[in-house]
Amino acid sequence: MQRVAILGSTGSIGTTALRVLARHADRFQVAALTANSNAALLREQASQFRPAFVGCVDQSAEGAGDWQRGSQCLVEAASREDVDIVLNAVVGAAGLDATLAALAAGKRVALANKESLVVGGELVERARAQGGGTLVPVDSEHSAILQCLAGRAPHEVRRVVLTASGGPFREWSAARIASATREDALRHPTWSMGRKITIDSATLANKALEVIEAHYLFGLSYDQVQVVVHPQSIVHSFVEFIDGSVVAQLGVPSMELPILYALTHPDRLEDSGVPSFDPVAASPLTFEPVRLDAFPALALGIGAGRSGGAAPAVFNAANEQAVALFLEGRIGFGGIAEAIGSALAALGGGAHDTREQLLAADAAARRHVREQLEATAC
């Protein structure tokens, strides 16, 4: 019996994971659940799965008496003795400390929270090496790469190609994209996800986060990680080996399989919930170059990854803050990439050796984006 903690259990990945775990109740037991503020759903999940630990970040949300409150509940759930696997499905840099704590405590981390690796890639690697934990991606592209690699050594890999759906604005002109509305941006063509990652998929900032994630997960240089647009989201990524052979992983767009695989890797479990693949129904499969000029957040993010230091943390924090302002209707869609570019220019070269320095860079980037907005509003 593997005991699983789900951080962010009320979100898109969290609820999907609970559906997968319910189908495999003979193998997995839910040991801990945490949520930000959706106390009603958390209560329902707690009464269905009966975890030993329930945490709620929001102090004021009405819950049960024995819930742990405040952001510390994430680290607590992630490092409990009675937990073997931590599924980190929190959104944003708020997930970093729990990833570090789980790895330091020697757990398997099934990582949906890619922002952990973007903000603190080197800290995460250090925590893993010191604590003896293992890091397995939930992100569908990285799950695909892991499955394609099948244990082959890094020196046998020539490059990986991450697929991107292209988002709702794949065929829009750059001028039309800049003035897209919130409703336009939240209409993702192939995936149903939380709001932040849905906006990231429309700007392609999500693909930049994933390039950085691949760099850290698989020890690849930035020249070895490329992006191609694949509107059907059936091919989840490619690995090209040094002899020229290319291996891909395919499936219908559903997070159930990558979540399950992150729990069982390198083993596989029979799962009746994942539909059988029909290549005829899935066809045609098409591929296009990415339009870097129309989606400036992608090149900004990859550039931040290449710069290293505090730049990836600044990129992530500026993006989080700008997406929040866009969702509040306070900046336009084009303003997201502008805010990221401005924050990177001002703060991208900061110090980055410790968690405290990275969190300071994160806070400074958020402040910078808010101050720029106030300056233009005056």
- Residues found near Mg ion in the complex (CB under 5 A): 139, 141
User: Does 259 help bind ligand NAD (rule: CB under 6 A)?
Assistant: no
Q: Which residue's C-beta sits nearest to ligand NAD?
A: 11
Binding to ligand NAD (CB under 6 A) within 167-196 occurs at 191, 193-194, 196
Minimum Å gap between C-beta 221 and ligand NAD is: 23
Which residue, 186 or 346, is less far from ligand NAD as judged by CB? 186
Under 8 Å between Cβ of 326 and 182: yes
Which residue, 321 or 372, is less far from ligand NAD as judged by CB? 321
Three-state SS at 351: coil
User: Does 364 help bind ligand NAD (rule: CB under 6 A)?
Assistant: no
Which residue, 142 or 291, is less far from ligand NAD as judged by CB? 142
Three-state SS at 29: strand
Minimum Å gap between C-beta 104 and ligand NAD is: 19
User: Does 113 help bind ligand NAD (rule: CB under 6 A)?
Assistant: yes
Q: Out of ligand NAD, Mg ion, none, which partner does residue 13 contact, by CB within 5 to 8 A per kind?
A: ligand NAD
Amino acid sitting at position 365 = A
Distance, CA of 29 to CA of 346 (rounded, Å):
47
For 114, left (φ over 0), alpha (ψ -120 to 50), or beta? alpha
Distance, CA of 105 to CA of 115 (rounded, Å):
20
Alpha helices, DSSP H, located in the chain: 12-23, 39-49, 72-78, 96-104, 114-131, 140-149, 174-178, 182-185, 195-203, 205-218, 256-264, 279-282, 296-307, 311-327, 334-347, 355-377
Distance, CA of 13 to CA of 6 (rounded, Å):
10
Minimum Å gap between C-beta 81 and ligand NAD is: 22
Q: Which residue's C-beta sits nearest to Mg ion?
A: 139
Binding to ligand NAD (CB under 6 A) within 2-31 occurs at 8-14
Distance, CA of 165 to CA of 141 (rounded, Å):
11
Residues found near ligand NAD in the complex (CB under 6 A): 8-14, 35-36, 38, 57, 71, 74, 89-91, 94, 112-115, 139, 191, 193-194, 196-197, 255
